[in-house]
Amino acid sequence: MNTSERFWDKTASQYDQIEMKDEQTYLQILQRTKTHLKLSDIVLDYGCGTGLIANEIAEYLKGIQAMDISSNMIAIAEKKAQERNIANINYAHATIFDERYKKGSFDAILAFHVLHLLEDGHIVLRRMNELLKPGGLLISATPCVGEKIFLSSLLFFAGRVGLAPKIRSFKIRNLVVTIEEGNFSIVESECLKKSSQEYFIVARKI
């Protein structure tokens, strides 16, 4: 088990409470995501956490493959889905490179609060592109803490001493370029929250 997996396993039981402190941003992500999805879509939720998004959008989709590196997160997500009798989500303790995920399988990939945590972002984005059908969408929300110098420095230090996962301090222009270098074209980009410079970006597979 690597450092990131241990961190998220420890965080899992408090994750929903932490995320819902900013319920307004969560609801914005949820509503904006729905506008880009269809009932016929098969979606991959990458870094699904406790299923906060997947469980809410399942009824609007044909099916969801949801994965996370934290087994504790997956256990919570599965429990919530069972309690709500949601049958079209397959939760998995896995990485995006798992062989169960086949090339050209997905209409959309969701990546919420995860791109800034990746050490190998370019490789993951190429993998996402590979997994999408022609014209498929990458739908993401990412805090660009590089726009906030003090916050960026604080989070960098926390990552160095193991108090938080290592975070890439994106500026929005760097994030856009990183996504585009994965062979995507930007469809939509908007700042959802100025204090954290959180950007909702939709990109289409080229």
Q: What is d(CA 136, CA 203) in angstroms, rounded to the nearest whole number?
A: 8
- Backbone Cα Rg of the chain: 16
What CATH number was assigned to the domain covering residues 3-205?
Answer: 3.40.50.150
Residue boundaries of the structural domains of the chain: 3-205
Q: For position 60, what pLDDT does the model report?
A: 97
Each residue's pLDDT expressed in tens, for the chain with a length of 206 residues: 577 888 889 889 998 988 888 899 999 999 999 999 999 999 999 999 999 999 999 999 999 999 999 999 999 999 999 999 999 999 999 999 999 999 999 999 999 999 998 988 999 999 999 999 999 999 999 998 764 443 333 334 334 434 445 677 789 999 999 999 999 999 999 999 888 889 999 999 99
Q: Write b or e for each residue in 77-115: b if 16 or more Cβ atoms lie within 10 A of its Cβ, otherwise e.
A: bbebbeeeebeebebbbbebeeeebeeebbbbbbbbbbb
Residue 11 has, within 13 A of its CA and on its CB side, a CA count of 18
| Structure confidence by residue, pLDDT tens digits, 26-42 | 999 999 999 999 999 99
